[in-house]
């Protein structure tokens, strides 16, 4: 391990991207303190939050490779080589993503986050402060203030403050007060709710395993990704007003009988009713902003910089790729933060913005275009 760069960095947020960035920086010899709002998820029985599993693609895998975690993570992932379309009449048809050896992987979010935190902690120069929430910061002085779960406040001073604190980033909120900071946020009219398809009576997967299952119904859709325990995390996406209109068990069953008849048996009618009426549909937001940095003192990465709707399955992958690009900029400018951070914004902003736009486009592709004859024809011609 290199030890020449003794820069001291505070990473705000110990989610997927913050923990990954800490690994890259520790590898460069930086002293890294992660401040995470939640307590240690490795000690929790249940971790609340969004999407139980995620599709990991080559962007994310490359980032994992860079810190020696690709094998450990991918051996716990389930390859998905194609979408499996569930038509209204119950017929299923696969649409491959690419050639036979190309696939994305279904990964357990908790497992991935835990592995990244453990990997970060293995570097002697990394410390993790759980239950520490970022309150404010002073970009000129490189100071940040946190409060812990006991209500104590802690003020620190470092060379670099990184915001990896997610879509509702507190660090980005501070940046928004600065001159010439652009910000754009769009909520889509759809919400999402997670349901569950348990293993079948033989304790096997209840559907074909190596697929991302999709029930495209134009205005809305449902998807399912396989888990290691042989269940499928199933996510229903539809306009909030339709969620709100389904206010009795009868209406729910009628809706599923009309729109997703083959899924009722898989989900189990009683479980479906229970989950639907005890859960809340959650919002999805697309956020673009610029610049990502403040001088040579601070930078935002991951969802804090570019939150995208989940239909392209690239939010986390893009955030993990941020770590590669930021690391490359530090390398290129010999750890001169005043040069590396502006260059990072310059390099990363157009790509991340394009990903936000593609995700929004795929919102329509997944629920609607996969139904069209033209789409099927194009796939046939492209052999994908
Ligand atoms: P987060 O995962 O949000 O982590 C932020 C961390 O910061 C959290 O641990 C939080 O507790 C902490 N924090 C927040 N505020 C503070 C504070 N003030 N102080 C200190 N800590 C703080 N992406 C994919 O690539 N593939 C997929 O298949 C996929 N599916 C998705 C499905 C759904 C339904 C949704 C909603 C998203 C999906 N995504 C997917 C996107 C993915 O979840 C995000 O892009 C990813 O979680 C971003 O990681 P992050 O570390 O930047 O932010």
State whether the beta carbon of 314 lies less than 6 angstroms from ligand 1: yes
State whether the beta carbon of 55 lies less than 6 angstroms from ligand 1: yes
State whether the beta carbon of 302 lies less than 6 angstroms from ligand 1: yes
CA distance linking residue 343 with residue 331, whole number of Å: 12
State whether the beta carbon of 173 lies less than 6 angstroms from ligand 1: no
Minimum CA distance residue for ligand 1 atom 43:
316
The pLDDT value recorded for residue 370 is 62
Q: Ligand 1, from 316, 348, 358, 363: best to mutate by most atoms within 8 Å of Cβ?
A: 316
The pLDDT value recorded for residue 6 is 84
Q: Are 81 and 102 in contact (CB under 8 A)?
A: yes
Q: Ligand 1, from 13, 233, 286: best to mutate by most atoms within 8 Å of Cβ?
A: 13
**Main-chain dihedrals φ then ψ at residue 154, nearest 5 degrees:** -135, 130
The pLDDT value recorded for residue 380 is 45
pLDDT < 50 regions, the chain: 1-3, 377-384
The pLDDT value recorded for residue 1 is 47
In ligand 1, which atom is closest to the CA atom of 38?
A: 11
Question: What count of other Cβ atoms lies within 10 Å of the Cβ of residue 353?
Answer: 16
Partnered with residue 143 across adjacent β-strands are 138, 157
Q: Are 199 and 209 in contact (CB under 8 A)?
A: no
Q: Are 240 and 111 in contact (CB under 8 A)?
A: no
In ligand 1, which atom is closest to the CA atom of 54?
A: 28
The 8-class DSSP code of residue 232 comes to E
Torsion of CA 267, 269, 273, 279, to 10 degrees: -10
List strand residue ranges (DSSP E) for the chain, in order: 8-12, 31-35, 53-56, 78-80, 82-86, 92-96, 104-108, 126-129, 132-138, 143-148, 153-157, 160-163, 182-197, 211-217, 220-226, 232-239, 282-290, 293-294, 298-300, 306-307
Ligand 1 centre to CA of 8 (Å) is 24
Q: Of 168, 233, 244, give the one whose Cα is nearest residue 195.
A: 233
Q: Of 29, 32, 37, 31, give the one whose Cα is nearest residue 4.
A: 29
Q: Ligand 1, from 10, 14, 15: best to mutate by most atoms within 8 Å of Cβ?
A: 15
State whether the beta carbon of 326 lies less than 6 angstroms from ligand 1: no
**Main-chain dihedrals φ then ψ at residue 235, nearest 5 degrees:** -120, 125
Q: Ligand 1, from 39, 40, 54: best to mutate by most atoms within 8 Å of Cβ?
A: 54
ipTM for this prediction: 0.99
CA distance linking residue 34 with residue 336, whole number of Å: 21
The pLDDT value recorded for residue 116 is 98
**Main-chain dihedrals φ then ψ at residue 178, nearest 5 degrees:** -85, 160
State whether the beta carbon of 38 lies less than 6 angstroms from ligand 1: yes
In ligand 1, which atom is closest to the CA atom of 171?
A: 18
The pLDDT value recorded for residue 362 is 87
């Amino acid at each position: 391990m290199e030890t020449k760069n003794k820069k001291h960095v505070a990473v705000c947020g110990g989610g997927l991207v913050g923990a990954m960035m800490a690994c890259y920086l520790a590898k460069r010899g930086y002293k890294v303190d992660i401040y995470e709002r939640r307590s240690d998820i490795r000690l929790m029985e249940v971790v609340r939050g969004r999407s139980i599993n995620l599709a990991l693609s080559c962007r994310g895998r490359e980032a994992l490779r860079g810190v020696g975690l690709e094998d450990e993570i991918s051996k716990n992932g389930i390859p998905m080589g194609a979408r499996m379309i569930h038509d209204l009449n119950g017929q299923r048809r696969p649409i491959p993503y690419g050639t036979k050896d190309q696939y994305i992987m279904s990964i357990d979010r908790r497992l991935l986050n835990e592995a990244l935190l453990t990997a970060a902690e293995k570097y002697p120069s990394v410390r993790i402060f759980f239950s520490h929430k970022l309150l404010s910061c002073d970009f000129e002085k490189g100071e940040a203030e946190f409060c812990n779960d006991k209500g104590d406040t802690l003020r620190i001073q470092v060379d670099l403050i990184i915001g990896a604190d997610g879509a509702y980033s507190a660090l980005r909120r501070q940046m928004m007060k600065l001159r010439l900071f652009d910000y754009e946020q769009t909520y889509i009219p759809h919400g999402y709710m997670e349901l569950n398809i348990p293993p079948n009576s033989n304790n096997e997967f209840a559907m074909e395993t190596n697929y991302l299952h999709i029930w495209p119904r134009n205005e809305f859709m449902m998807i399912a990704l396989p888990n290691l325990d042989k269940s499928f995390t199933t996510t229903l996406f539809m306009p909030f007003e339709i969620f709100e209109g389904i206010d009795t068990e009868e209406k729910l069953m009628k809706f599923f009988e009309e729109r997703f008849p083959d899924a009722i048996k898989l989900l189990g009618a009683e479980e479906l009713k229970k989950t639907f009426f005890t859960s809340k549909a959650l919002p999805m937001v697309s956020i673009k902003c610029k610049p990502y940095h403040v001088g040579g003192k601070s930078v935002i990465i991951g969802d804090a910089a570019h939150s995208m709707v989940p239909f392209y399955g690239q939010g986390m992958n893009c955030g993990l790729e941020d770590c590669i690009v930021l690391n490359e900029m530090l390398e290129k400018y010999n750890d001169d933060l005043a040069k590396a951070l502006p260059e990072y914004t310059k390099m990363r902003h157009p790509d991340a913005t394009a990903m936000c736009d593609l995700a929004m486009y795929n919102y329509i592709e997944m629920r609607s275009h996969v139904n069209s004859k033209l789409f099927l024809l194009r796939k046939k011609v492209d052999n994908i």
